[in-house]
Structure 1
Amino acid sequence: MKYAILTADEPFISLAELKSLLNNENNIYYFSGIAVFSGDYKNIARRSSNIKAIGEVLAISNDPKDINEVIRGKCFTIKPNVILRSDKDRFNALYSTATKGVIFSKKCETLDLIFTDGIIIAGLREEERDSKSLLLHAKKPYSQSGTMDAYTSRLMVNLANPKKTVFDPFVGVGSILIESAWIGYTCLGADIDINMLEKTKYNLKYFGYTCDLLQSNIATNCIKKTDAIVTDPPYGKSVNAKTIKIEELYEKLFSISSEILSKNGRLVFATDAKYDWRDKIKEYNLSIIGIHFIYLHKSLSRAIYVVQKR
């Protein structure tokens, strides 16, 4: 049995990311801030955006004595984790009982001791999120106002969880392609603006990544097939209403997705939360898997749609 420590400020998006990467929703049990699941999975936390760590469960109980029976006499580096702040005092009272007789040393394996929803989870940490790569990607040479951050970009790629290829038809400065390439996917990007493509090319080269780039309008079907489309189309102030209507732009995205996605392939896209695309999506033989909302600032909340080809 495995446990996953989810990002506290986005627990439901974190859970959705975990479900997508596991390809199985039926064996996941959720506690506040923690998911417990079965199976032998590797590199899930490392490649994630919102899963902080994953490990092997040693014991789960509401009685600290049960936990102590499993870990007493063994050597650990212990990382206590109280998910709900209101439980901090209660956990402090249980901690000494749970860890009685344990040998503490930084040279030993890391033990997560988690208190949530009235239970204690003790587990050996196996892998952690690669936060260094996310912070590195945040410092790409070319950026601009409204550029999607590395955490959200990686999240969207993971929500798509393609077999091999990722296509971004609104590449911008390449945030989504950077995360796709880092994970190891074959990546393709398109944009109508040649200047944006040059910036994307420079950003990719800066990190040593390679993706195919095409100058193309969304109205032009420039590729034949892909496992996933992951994109951040222009919306709000970034759309020039004189040249294109936002409704037409998104409708064309849905149309192209229906044409080029492989069976069960996913379209993951971001949009201003004020728009509701559910009815329009269903017109194009696409099914909505989930919609997730991220607050950015007082004038914009972002909705991330996860859509699958039937």
Structure 2
Amino acid sequence: MEIALLLSKEHSTLPRAEVDAVMDCEGVKYHLKMEQEGLLILDIPHKNPEDLERVIERLSYTHEVFQILLQVDENDLLTEAEKYPWDEIVSSSYAVRVKKMDKKSKLNTSKLEWDLGGIIKSRVSDQVRVNLENPSTFLRVVLKDGQAIAGNQIGKISKKHFFNLKPHKRPFFYPGSMSPKLARCMVNLTRIKKGQALLDPFCGTGGILIEAGMVGARVIGTDIDYKMVNGTKKNLEHCGISNYQVFQEDARKLELPHKVDAIVTDPPYGISASTRGEKSHDLYHQAMKSLQGLIKEDGLLCLATPHYLDLDEILAGTKFKIIEQHHIRMHKSLTRVISLLSLV
């Protein structure tokens, strides 16, 4: 089957990279059919609804996913819709929503929703009703580049989760904490699987550990500041995550009884962060030398750094190599670099 993913436009490369990582992690094979701004179309040769459900549950930079039913010139949509067996798709209730993804289309979205809804109504049982609030079948139509892509929504990523877990809404808050959406994305980039161990050696308020715990990882967190350690524990408990180990330790001297499957971290930097007087470059370099011995050979490390630090210099003398990077402009004087690393 072919599926379409409506991607966030907050960033140019992270949404696609996250989809690739989660598909890979969950073992879902696919062929890329189309990639445009905000839209990804994939062909999945072997349909397994449970696999797709797990993928959708993990994503952060995707808005919704739908199975494609029709892909035609936008001016032919209603004609083709007249021929489609809607009674095989629509069950007890339905809603139709049209989304323009560029300014090229001259179609009126409200009229198109009304007309398409009327066609569907004439093809289904009299007992089937329109339900705009909570339909059993949600039909999405995307208009882009003169094309109309219509499909049955199979998943929608909840904004509520990322809103409710914003740093200032947790029991313990400290300025400079990473957004839950980016934290989830960084966790996903490491391809961590349910039941595997993930380490954040600069856990701060625990945002990364929360998102890792949400996808089923066993989480391990350390911080040099005992206040952060206690705060992380409070936040993890608040989010219902019990499978964790969090303790006070210096990341540059960290030892663990067993190697971990992935490391995700956002080390401190700048005026608002606690670096205990250590220069950021030296702190990062010493930490990376320590962390290379704590991760499994096939494990991945996802790291956030400010743009003004030279990551190649930081990694010099370690076994880590950069395999992908994404740049996020925070404001005019700071760009955050998200780097995915593997062992050589």
TM-score by length of 1: 0.89
Counterpart of 1:130 in structure 2 is 158
Q: Which moved more, 1:290-299 or 1:176-185?
A: 290-299
Counterpart of 1:222 in structure 2 is 255
Q: 2:224 & 2:203 partners in 1: Cα distance?
A: 9
Counterpart of 1:161 in structure 2 is 191
Tell me the CA shift for residue 147 of structure 1.
1.0
What number of residue pairs does the alignment pair up? 309
Asked if 2 retains the 8 angstrom alpha-carbon contact of 1:48 and 1:130, the reply is no
Q: 1:220 & 1:282 partners in 2: Cα distance?
A: 18
Tell me the CA shift for residue 45 of structure 1.
2.2
When residues 195 and 36 of structure 1 are mapped into structure 2, their CA distance, relative to the original with a 3 A threshold, is same
RMSD: 2.6
Counterpart of 1:56 in structure 2 is 67
1:87 pairs with one of 91, 104, 107? 104
1:114-147 per-residue CA deviation (whole Å, 9 max, x = no partner) reads 1123322111111111322222211101112111
Stretches of structure 2 that go unaligned for 5 or more consecutive residues are 122-128
1:271-301 per-residue CA deviation (whole Å, 9 max, x = no partner) reads 1122231454375333323211222233322
- Whether 2:16 is the aligned partner of 1:15: answer yes
Counterpart of 2:237 in structure 1 is 205
The one-letter amino acid of 1:150's match is P
Tell me the CA shift for residue 26 of structure 1.
6.7
Stretches of structure 1 that go unaligned for 5 or more consecutive residues are none
**Matching of residues 273-292 of structure 1 within 5 Å:** 273-278=307-312, 280-281=314-315, 283-292=317-326
The one-letter amino acid of 1:131's match is K
Q: 2:338 & 2:287 partners in 1: Cα distance?
A: 14
Q: 1:50 & 1:196 partners in 2: Cα distance?
A: 28
SS in 2 for 1:111: strand
Q: 2:321 & 2:80 partners in 1: Cα distance?
A: 45
Tell me the CA shift for residue 251 of structure 1.
1.4
The one-letter amino acid of 1:222's match is E
Tell me the CA shift for residue 166 of structure 1.
1.0
Asked if 1 retains the 8 angstrom alpha-carbon contact of 2:105 and 2:146, the reply is no
Tell me the CA shift for residue 228 of structure 1.
0.7
- Whether 2:38 is the aligned partner of 1:33: answer yes
TM-score by length of 2: 0.81
Counterpart of 1:148 in structure 2 is 178
SS in 1 for 2:253: coil
SS in 2 for 1:302: strand
1:271 pairs with one of 302, 305, 321? 305
